[in-house]
Chain A
Amino acid sequence: MTLLRHLAVAIIVGALLAVASVTLNSFRDFQMAEVATYVTAVAGLTILIGLSGQISIGHGAFMAIGAYAAALILMHLNWPLVAVLAASAAIAAVAGLVLGVAAARLRGPYLAGITLLLAVALPSLATRFAGTFGGDQGLGVNVTTPAFLGPSFPLTRWQAWVACAAALITLVLLANLARSRVGRSWRAVRDDETAAALAGLNVAWLRILAFAVSAACAGLAGALLGITTTLVSPGSFTVTLSIALLTGAVLGGLGTLPGAVWGSLVIVLVPTYVTDVATSHGLSSSVAANIPVAAYGVVLIVVMLVFPAGIQGAVRRLLGPAAPSAGGPIGSLRRRVPARDNPEEGAS
């Protein structure tokens, strides 16, 4: 039943988006594709942090892996688009699996550190192996509208369709996963590892799986980013991108998929708007570009300290207790009470 309901919602939203994309101009279509791209990545991240309780501040690195995979496959193998997207997600998932193996033994601060280092280190590979990855210039991504849509079909609309379809499919799959046995197990591991292990759950494997799923989403989003911007370059995958994804997940409400949509809308639309307003008021472009960055910081601090359930938490409170919940936000986690007062508490 749940699957049917999720599918029905996705089909209705997809139809509405398709109608909207026809009426919107090409810049709005591009923004629609951008939002869908971010939704794909943020949804994976919010599941990782909110459901499995593991943090990643380097998810931009998985986007980079997916994006370069897509660009290289399109350039050298010329596969059909669906296969390219699936392969990018799969390659990023393998990378996530590898990191997940390391991550399964690590707690919050160590995990955040190694993922941050990944985000810092990975783009330098593209510069070092410029022959394969195109160096700082990056690789062009060659996308064309398929022939059956006719010659006059705008490319941006096709890109928006591809991105929205991918985002919707991702959301449906994640929504079902979150409600499945796996999702429940993730929540159990998040809330109390020892209890989960005693209940017979394979804690390490569940953590690794969460990383792989989340990395697959980010890889798919990276491929979408390459397709919508027709360029894959190291400059697109900075630490700021990773933190923007984190901001989207935190702002929307960690662990909630609708929250991923709210968060992505904000991190795509608000910076564009702010930059426009700031440049029109005569501020230099470097000032205008940095206002959203500073705003991300304020959002992360304020949301985490004051209302950790994020936008979706507020929406849910407005709709009342009857509204369905996809998973407990991180703010509702019980406080970790040390069993004994001991300096090593929380250090492991």
Chain B
Amino acid sequence: MQEFLDFTLGGVSFGMIYAAIGLSLVLIWRGTRILNYAQGGMAMFTTYIALITINHTGNYWLGFVVALAAGAVLGAACELVIRPAQDKPPLNAVIVTIGLLILLEGLAGIIYGGQFRSFPAAFSITGLRVGTTSLGVSRNDVFVAAAVLAAALALAVMFRYTSAGLRLRATAFSPAVARLLGIRVGRVLTLGWALAGLIGALAGVLVTPSTFLYPNSMDSIFVLGFTAAVIGGLDSPLGAVLGGLILGVVLNYAGGYLGADLVPVFGLAALALVLMLRPSGLLGTASSRQV
């Protein structure tokens, strides 16, 4: 029972990471119908920037903020690279984002080297105690979940109550109509990518203490975040968070009871199942293809 509880709580913490990656994918997908495969690479890169900042200044929170800012800048920069691919066949955009991913991984290898580096956690990673029993969840896990939830809520508030959020929604609904209404669609898309880069950077900084930092460190996290977004329906932010939670908990049971090195395989099985049974996801509005 204790073990089950530990796995559940640990799963929630990992699930929030997948949710954050999923959210960043959904943000870009809604606006541009592009799936940003470079998201994991961007998060890896900004985590390196955070690590360098922390090593130089000794201040974790400065590194944290710098990483988020760098994520926003990197996201906006990637949008500029990808923009010309938008009016080409969809496959071209997919290949360009994969190009961005491998470019960032190569650059990280050139600049920072390929060795595994450890990354500090914001808070203690020893288990919290309730009375005399030690839980399988640490203060840092609570911080991870809270940070992603806060980011998701901030996004929700922004979409609902600010004019920038309204412009983002209008552009996602129909770029042509938004343009006719006087919205500068190009700028709105850049803003969307910057927000996605920020959320991705958050995920990178939060997850890396429990993995290691190396140029490919976000590959497996990214594919699971993608799975979370697909489970949620790919165009629903709430769906991405739900999908992340479900995936995190299920994978943590599978990893805990059956072997941790099989987690990507179970992720693959989960993705295949969802795509076969319900391709539009839990909360997606997309119709499945006709032929």
Contact A297 B106 (CB under 8 A): yes
Interface membership of B99, Cβ < 8 A: yes
Contacts A105-B276, A300-B96, A341-B177: A290 and B102 contacting too (C-beta < 8 A)? no
A213 at the interface (CB under 8 A from B): no
Bound form: Cα–Cα A314–B289 in Å: 35
Q: How does the 8 Å CB contact mask read for B81-107 relative to A, with 1 for contact and 0 for none?
A: 100110111111011101111111111
Q: Is B268 in contact with A121, judged by CB distance below 8 angstroms? A: yes
B193 at the A interface (CB under 8 A): no
Interface residues of A in 280-306 (CB under 8 A from B): 284, 286-287, 289-301, 304-305
In-complex Cβ contact of A348 among B94, B110, B286 (8 A) = B286
Complexed CA–CA distance, A247 and B272 (Å): 26
A279 within 8 A of B: no
Please tell me if B226 contacts chain A, counting CB pairs below 8 Å.
yes
Q: Which of B96, B215, B226 contacts A301 (CB 8 A)?
A: B96
Cross-chain contact of B94 among A109, A239, A289 (Cβ < 8 A): A109
Smallest CB–CB gap between B208 and chain A, Å? 17
- Given A108-B90, A112-B94, A304-B96, check contact A297 B101 (CB 8 Å): yes
Provide the residues of chain A in CB contact with B115, threshold 8 Å.
286
Whether the Cβ atoms of A348 and B289 lie closer than 8 Å is yes
Which residues in chain A, 302-331, are within 8 Å of chain B measured between CB atoms? 304-305, 308, 330-331
A339 to chain B, nearest CB (A): 13
Write out, one digit per residue, whether chain B residues 225-268 have a CB within 8 A of any chain A CB (1) or not (0): 01100100011000000000000000000000001011111011
> Any chain B CB within 8 A of the CB of A257?
no
**Which residues of chain B are near A304, meaning CB under 8 Å?**
85, 88, 92, 95-96, 99
How many residues of chain A are within 8 Å of chain B by beta carbon? 69
- A residues within 8 A CB of B109? 286-287, 289-290, 293-294
C-alpha gap A180/B44 in the complex (Å): 45
In the bound assembly, the distance between CA atoms of A55 and B98 in angstroms comes to 12
Residues of B within 8 A of A250 (CB): 95
Q: Which residues of A contact B94 (CB under 8 A)?
A: 55, 108-109, 112
> Is A11 part of the contact surface with B, judged by Cβ < 8 Å?
no
Contact (Cβ within 8 A) B230 A110:
yes
Residue positions of A touching B, CB distance < 8 A: 49, 53, 55, 57, 102, 105-110, 112-114, 116-118, 120-122, 124-125, 127-128, 193-194, 196-197, 203-204, 238-240, 243, 246-247, 250, 284, 286-287, 289-301, 304-305, 308, 330-331, 333, 335-336, 341-348
Q: Which 7 A-B pairs have the closest CB atoms?
A: A297-B103, A294-B106, A300-B99, A290-B109, A293-B106, A109-B35, A121-B264
**A-binding residues in B (CB < 8 A):** 29, 33-35, 37, 81, 84-85, 87-92, 94-96, 98-110, 113-115, 172-177, 215-216, 219-220, 223, 226-227, 230, 234-235, 259, 261-265, 267-268, 271-272, 275-276, 279, 285-291
